[in-house]
Chain A
Amino acid sequence: MELLGKTNIDFIGKRNISFIISGIIGIIGIIGVVQVGRGAANMGIDFSGGTSMQLKFSKPLSIADARSALHKHGIAKADLQEIKDGNKLLVKMAGASVGKPSEMVQTAFKKEFADNAFTVESSTEIGPSIGDKLRKDTLIAAFLSMLGIILYIAWRFDFKFGVGATVATMHDCLAMFAAFYLMNKEINLLFITAVLTIAGYSLTDTVVVFDRIRENLHKNLKGALHKIFNDSINEVLSRTIVTSLTVFLAAASLFLFGGEVIHDFAFALLVGVIVGTYSSVFVASPIVVLLENRALAKEVKTV
């Protein structure tokens, strides 16, 4: 079976459209990153410090009731979220100290909902100093993995391909930030893990395309760059899609059946896989063409 027969799509010719789309994604992503840097995005408590609890009640409970119960007991600033199955409630409080807030929430609910017993399924309390350390460690980790990837690409390919692959990888990471920022999903350690994983994975897709382009460049030195690139992408299009599809299927089953703890993590992976496939075709290769053409134009001028 074949998903696609022989295709002949002018990917490079559509670069203006794809650059505009990617530009918008990139800008939203950068805004998202800046907001994360300022702490203005929906930050997980692992970075901001604070308390997060997951409670399971025996009876249904409305968020409004829960909020007013907390309010009555002096907890004004709490982020409440309902989890679909099984009367579960997620309570998040930023910047509070370790120990006290979790007790206060439990006393408040015990008093206000005496007939609705609950158990604490999980609670996470993180002091501000840990948050700072994690943020620092994460920045170093992100920097190191990017550096490692760039060095590897630089070693395996020439400079122009390296730029293309790096831009495409950055693009994918930004797209994930953009999606989470627009949907106001929580930026936590798991999200960063997903971003770094995708950074490694999306490169795989790009490398597959680049390998073919390079092979064809060696075979055919005289043809128009534009055509060689287009032909190469068309040749590997089905395998690019199939490889992404298998990973997509695995990530989708995590997203649908993996439970609430890794729901957002799986969502980030799904976004990353899709964007990663798009970027290796529509971002990475056109950039290399652009750079090659510019270099050629320069050569012509000097001659």
Chain B
Amino acid sequence: MPKGTGWRISLIGIFVLLSFLYLIPTLVAKLPEWWSGLLPKDKIHLGLDLQGGTHLVMEVDTQKAVEGSLDLVATDLEDTLNSKSLRFKRISRSGADKVSLLFYEKGTAETVQKMLKDKYPGYEQSSPVDDGGFVALTLRINEKDALDRKDKAVQQALETIRNRIDQFGVSEPTIQREGINHIVVQLPGIKDPQRAIELIGRTARLEFRMVREDIPPSSATIPDDAELLKEKSVDRTTGAVTEIPIVVQKKSMITGDLLTDAQVRIDSQFNQPYVGIEFNALGAKLFDQVTAANVGKRFAIVLDNNIHSAPVIRERISGGSAQISGSFTEKTAADLAIVLRAGALPAPVQIIQNVTVGPSLGQDSINKGLYAGLIGVLLVVVFMAIYYKMSGMVANLGMILNVIYLMGALAALGATLTLPGIAAIVLLIGMSVDSNVIIFERIREELKLGKTPKAALDGGYDKAFLTIMDSHVTTLITAAVLFQFGTGPVKGFAVSLSLGVIINLFTSLIGTKVTFDLFLHKGSVKKMSI
């Protein structure tokens, strides 16, 4: 064996072994028991375009979260001032970042001012101003706190969505935050994407509010503390949707935060599903008080500003459980129970990107991609064998090594294979023999100059080296940029391409050279098959 071939052959052999070792988890459906510990478990993941599934990008309306916390401050202030018998005309959120307070007297305003300073140190206060005979104060949330609130809202939304997906039951979901206010959700292999999207995207803010029977829904003016909402009901036989407008209090008596549990139950009388809810201690106490004080009146169960139902309170309800009934199917009841258990989103989310691929198309893509790859390999192999004879076969060997290494590397990195990623591999089949073509053409020239095969071979590899480096670096530059900026399928393309290009340097400069060296090392070979 010629000098220096030993370590190169061992290196090639070790890499082949490693590649197969890493590929085993991908190729074998179920790993045996003893395959654990140090042996690799990562496998090549299939992108959503290949296995089917849904990719969602959601935008959290973070401004709404800030407004929500200002609303809370306003309600809290109302309660505090009432309990201290401080008289005020109105306290409400105004605009995006303020709570405005309106008093009858300057004295009260000044007392409240002092109190606010202690209670809300993070807020900026304006000095009292005269507003048409009243005294106005504003409380403004400072920018840092607002940003903090927004950040928390996205974090909470992410947790809530994760909770909902876990309860819905999706295997291997990916839920990630992206940028400032985006959340990316990937649900591979999901059967009913529409249902999942509705489940994830709904805010699920549950409120119990009193119905204002004193104001007819047709009334032109609705006071500040009330609002007009609609009760939707679906006729079970015809499927027709009717909307009944109802005026309700703006302020909610109890909210969904006070729930501990929600379960689907079946009404034994009508065989209808409903959602049974359990309050925590505080919620149970509130519910008890409210129902006791309002027997004979109606209250509305409001979910995301739609009235679910507006039953009459027949008696005081203690014990902390209640039920939400309405026109449910078993699925919609189950979904409502999930969102109530997982909690409300701190702010509404909007789906801004939804890519869904059905499983049949995914399988079709895999089959066609593999088929195209096989034909590509075949065409290249035949062409190289005819054009460069035995040397062409050496190049083909290099190309096969290239594909094996690339698959092994993808598995080792736990990379995601997408359809463009398969395309990159097919393209690499063509590119990987290119380095050898450059070398072979060089060798042919050297042979024409009358050099011995051994000398021509060394000359060819030496002189082609820089050219090959150049061509690889330029491809690598674009692949790296695509990797940085690409998403989903394009990223898969970039991963396969850049790994392939790097591996190709090794196979074409070391892998094929060592094969030639083995055959030509004595220098006595007179003719080269090229």
Report which A residues bind B (CB closer than 8 A): 1, 3, 54, 56, 98-99, 103, 119-127, 129-130, 134, 137-138, 140-141, 144-145, 148-149, 152-153, 156, 189-190, 193, 196-197, 199-201, 203-204, 207-208, 211, 235-236, 238-239, 242-243, 245-254, 256-259, 261-262, 265-266, 269
- Most chain-A Cβ atoms within 10 A of its Cβ — which of B360, B466, B476, B485? B485
* Cα distance, A251 to B428, chains bound together (Å): 10
* Cα distance, A123 to B357, chains bound together (Å): 6
Query: Across chains A and B, which 5 residue pairs bring their CB atoms closest together, nearest first?
Result: A250-B430, A127-B352, A259-B368, A200-B478, A204-B471
* Cα distance, A98 to B479, chains bound together (Å): 31
Q: Which of B468-512 contact A (CB under 8 A)?
A: 470-471, 473-482, 484-487, 489-490, 493, 497
| Minimum CB distance partner of B384 in chain A | A246
Pick the contact of A3: B387, B438, B478, B481 (CB < 8 A).
Answer: B387
Whether A193 pairs with B477 at a CB distance below 8 angstroms is: no
Whether B467 pairs with A207 at a CB distance below 8 angstroms is: yes
**A253 with B379: in contact, given A130-B352, A152-B473 (CB under 8 Å)?**
yes
**A149 with B474: in contact, given A119-B360, A141-B481, A265-B423 (CB under 8 Å)?**
yes
- Report the minimal beta-carbon distance from B78 to chain A, rounded to whole angstroms: 37
- Report the minimal beta-carbon distance from B203 to chain A, rounded to whole angstroms: 15
B353 interface hit (Cβ, 8 Å)? yes
B272 interface hit (Cβ, 8 Å)? no
* Cα distance, A246 to B431, chains bound together (Å): 7
Pick the contact of A124: B355, B427, B437, B470 (CB < 8 A).
Answer: B355
Whether A211 pairs with B431 at a CB distance below 8 angstroms is: no
B383 interface hit (Cβ, 8 Å)? yes
- Most chain-B Cβ atoms within 10 A of its Cβ — which of A137, A243, A248? A243
- Report the minimal beta-carbon distance from A292 to chain B, rounded to whole angstroms: 21
* Cα distance, A251 to B433, chains bound together (Å): 14
Whether A246 pairs with B484 at a CB distance below 8 angstroms is: no
CB contacts (< 8 Å) of B475 on chain A: these are: 197, 200-201, 204
**Interface residue stretch chosen among B109-117, B128-136, B330-338, B370-378:** B370-378
Q: Which of B184-227 contact A (CB under 8 A)?
A: 194, 197
B260 interface hit (Cβ, 8 Å)? no
- Report the minimal beta-carbon distance from A272 to chain B, rounded to whole angstroms: 11
**A99 with B351: in contact, given A144-B481, A145-B481, A253-B379 (CB under 8 Å)?**
yes
CB contacts (< 8 Å) of A120 on chain B: these are: 356, 358
| Minimum CB distance partner of A247 in chain B | B430
Q: How large is the interface on B (under 10, 10 to 19, 20 to 34, 35 or more residues)?
A: 35 or more
* Cα distance, A149 to B473, chains bound together (Å): 9
CB contacts (< 8 Å) of A211 on chain B: these are: 466-467, 470
B264 interface hit (Cβ, 8 Å)? no
- Report the minimal beta-carbon distance from A44 to chain B, rounded to whole angstroms: 12
B281 interface hit (Cβ, 8 Å)? no
Whether A193 pairs with B493 at a CB distance below 8 angstroms is: yes
**A239 with B441: in contact, given A123-B356, A145-B477, A149-B478 (CB under 8 Å)?**
yes
* Cα distance, A266 to B426, chains bound together (Å): 11
Pick the contact of B354: A125, A201, A203, A249 (CB < 8 A).
Answer: A125
Whether B376 pairs with A254 at a CB distance below 8 angstroms is: yes
B49 interface hit (Cβ, 8 Å)? yes
- Report the minimal beta-carbon distance from B486 to chain A, rounded to whole angstroms: 7
* Cα distance, A196 to B486, chains bound together (Å): 12
| Minimum CB distance partner of B388 in chain A | A1
Whether B481 pairs with A239 at a CB distance below 8 angstroms is: no
- Report the minimal beta-carbon distance from A26 to chain B, rounded to whole angstroms: 21
| Minimum CB distance partner of A52 in chain B | B355
Whether A249 pairs with B380 at a CB distance below 8 angstroms is: yes
B59 interface hit (Cβ, 8 Å)? yes
B453 interface hit (Cβ, 8 Å)? no
Pick the contact of A145: B49, B433, B478 (CB < 8 A).
Answer: B478
| Minimum CB distance partner of B387 in chain A | A1
CB contacts (< 8 Å) of B255 on chain A: these are: none
Whether B427 pairs with A54 at a CB distance below 8 angstroms is: no
**A258 with B383: in contact, given A203-B474, A266-B423 (CB under 8 Å)?**
no
* Cα distance, A123 to B434, chains bound together (Å): 38
CB contacts (< 8 Å) of B283 on chain A: these are: none
**A148 with B423: in contact, given A98-B352, A249-B380 (CB under 8 Å)?**
no
B364 interface hit (Cβ, 8 Å)? yes
* Cα distance, A134 to B360, chains bound together (Å): 28
CB contacts (< 8 Å) of A126 on chain B: these are: 352-355
CB contacts (< 8 Å) of A262 on chain B: these are: 369, 419-420, 423
- Report the minimal beta-carbon distance from A7 to chain B, rounded to whole angstroms: 13
* Cα distance, A242 to B389, chains bound together (Å): 14
Pick the contact of B437: A119, A144, A243, A265 (CB < 8 A).
Answer: A243
Whether B380 pairs with A141 at a CB distance below 8 angstroms is: no
- Report the minimal beta-carbon distance from A236 to chain B, rounded to whole angstroms: 7
B325 interface hit (Cβ, 8 Å)? no
Whether A129 pairs with B352 at a CB distance below 8 angstroms is: yes
Whether A190 pairs with B489 at a CB distance below 8 angstroms is: yes
Q: A124-B355, A248-B430, A257-B375 are in contact. List 13 more A-B contacts (CB 8 A).
A: A98-B352, A98-B354, A120-B358, A145-B478, A148-B480, A189-B486, A193-B486, A201-B431, A204-B474, A253-B373, A254-B376, A261-B361, A266-B423
CB contacts (< 8 Å) of A189 on chain B: these are: 486, 489-490
- Report the minimal beta-carbon distance from A281 to chain B, rounded to whole angstroms: 15
| Minimum CB distance partner of A211 in chain B | B467
**A243 with B434: in contact, given A130-B353, A141-B486, A204-B474 (CB under 8 Å)?**
yes
* Cα distance, A127 to B353, chains bound together (Å): 6
Whether A250 pairs with B376 at a CB distance below 8 angstroms is: yes
Binary A-proximity of B374-404 (CB < 8 A = 1, otherwise 0): 0110011001101111000000000000000
Whether A193 pairs with B368 at a CB distance below 8 angstroms is: no
Whether B365 pairs with A250 at a CB distance below 8 angstroms is: no
* Cα distance, A164 to B373, chains bound together (Å): 34
**A259 with B485: in contact, given A98-B353, A99-B351 (CB under 8 Å)?**
no
**A254 with B357: in contact, given A189-B490, A247-B430, A262-B420 (CB under 8 Å)?**
no
B429 interface hit (Cβ, 8 Å)? yes
- Report the minimal beta-carbon distance from A263 to chain B, rounded to whole angstroms: 10
Whether A254 pairs with B426 at a CB distance below 8 angstroms is: yes
B57 interface hit (Cβ, 8 Å)? yes
* Cα distance, A134 to B491, chains bound together (Å): 13
Whether A129 pairs with B59 at a CB distance below 8 angstroms is: yes
Whether A208 pairs with B467 at a CB distance below 8 angstroms is: yes
* Cα distance, A127 to B489, chains bound together (Å): 18
* Cα distance, A250 to B481, chains bound together (Å): 23
Whether A247 pairs with B434 at a CB distance below 8 angstroms is: yes
Whether A1 pairs with B386 at a CB distance below 8 angstroms is: yes
CB contacts (< 8 Å) of A243 on chain B: these are: 434, 437-438
